[in-house]
Structures are given as C-alpha cells and as structure tokens.
Amino acid sequence: KHIWRSSPRMLVEEFAQGPHYVVNIMGNEIVGITAAEFGPPPHFVFRQSICPAPLSDDEHERMGNVSLSCLRALDLDWGPMCIEFRWTKRGPVVIEVNPRLAGGQPKLIQLAYGVDLVAEHVKLVIGGDANLRKTHLHTVASRYLLPDRDGILDWIDGEASAAAVPG
C-alpha cells in the first residue's frame, strides 16, 4: 500500500482512459448500468448514453462488486446512489461515488426496466419500502445534440416535423 504525499494545494490524479459507465443503485441493490460517451476533450459533456450498458456478465459483476464495496467503505446504504467508472486496461476504475440520483439516469432506468427511481426514492423518504422489481427489459438510448462551434442560436426550424415523428 503506497501513501502519496503532496502539497496541500495540489492534487495529482491518474488519467483513467476507457469507456464510461454509471452504476445506478438504490440502497444496496444495483438497479442498472448505463454506458455513456462524452463529446470531444477537454470538456466532459455527455454526448450519448445507452441502458442497459452492453457488458459481458464478468464486466457487469466486477463493476457491481466494486460498487457495493465502495458503498460499504463509505457507509452508504440508504437511498439512491450512482457510481461512475472508466473501464481501463486494468478493469473498472472508480471516478465518482455520488449519494444521489444521476442526472438523466432515472428516465433511462424507467424506460429500460420499468423502475421509477424518483417515485421509489420518495417512498423511502416517507418511511416506505422501495419496489425495485423490473417489469420489462428494453434497450434505451439518449443522444445530446452538441454544437460543433461557439455561437448564438438564432432560430429553430422544423419542430413540427420533429414532433410528428412517432416516439
């Protein structure tokens, strides 16, 4: 075990390169894992997500085990949590552990599995039990439209055509 010492004004972190994943948890139960992609560096702006993440059983199990280990280490065992990973050459590397719902994830989880994380969290808050039973399994994707340059949006055209598309 190495202990790294550094100036109190400097933090040195490893750059973890690889696909990005978000593990969605309620209490100590993994509800689903989403794969996410970012736009171009140096920014960390999400470009697209897919749920459930296309993982092998081994990858899913390893991320799940590390997630639950993080929660035990931080004494987190209640409510919604999301843990972000990069899958590197060494396997899963934890980026963040967040004791909250992840932005955009509740809708993906609801569409993919039929589990409403917001409603189930409210049940917990008022003293009830969360029902995390999955009622279906669909593959759901989201895509964020990002501009390719700085500028000011002058107008949007064609919204009626877009709204007419089923789904």
**pLDDT tens-place string over residues 24-49:** 999 999 999 999 998 877 777 889 99
Catalytic residues: 100
Phi, psi of 85 (to 5 degrees): -130, 160
Gap between the Cα atoms of 147 and 48, Å rounded: 14
Q: Is the pLDDT of residue 6 over 80?
A: no
Does 10 reside within a domain? no
R_g of the chain, CA atoms, integer Å = 19
The total of structural domains in the chain comes to: 1
Q: Which domain holds residue 29?
A: 20-143
Which among 96, 95, 84, 98 is positioned nearest to 14, based on CA atoms?
Answer: 95
- Is residue 140 classed as helix, strand or coil in its secondary structure? strand
The CA-CA-CA angle for residues 126, 129, 134, to 5°, reads 130
pLDDT of residue 147: 79
128 inside domain: yes
Q: For 88-119, how does the pLDDT look when each residue is reduced to its tens digit (9 = 90+)?
A: 999 999 999 999 999 889 999 999 999 999 99
In the chain, which ranges are E strands?
20-26, 29-38, 46-51, 80-88, 91-98, 140-143
Q: Does some domain include residue 65?
A: yes
Q: The CATH number of the domain where 53 resides is what?
A: 3.30.470.20
| Mean pLDDT along residues 2-7 | 61
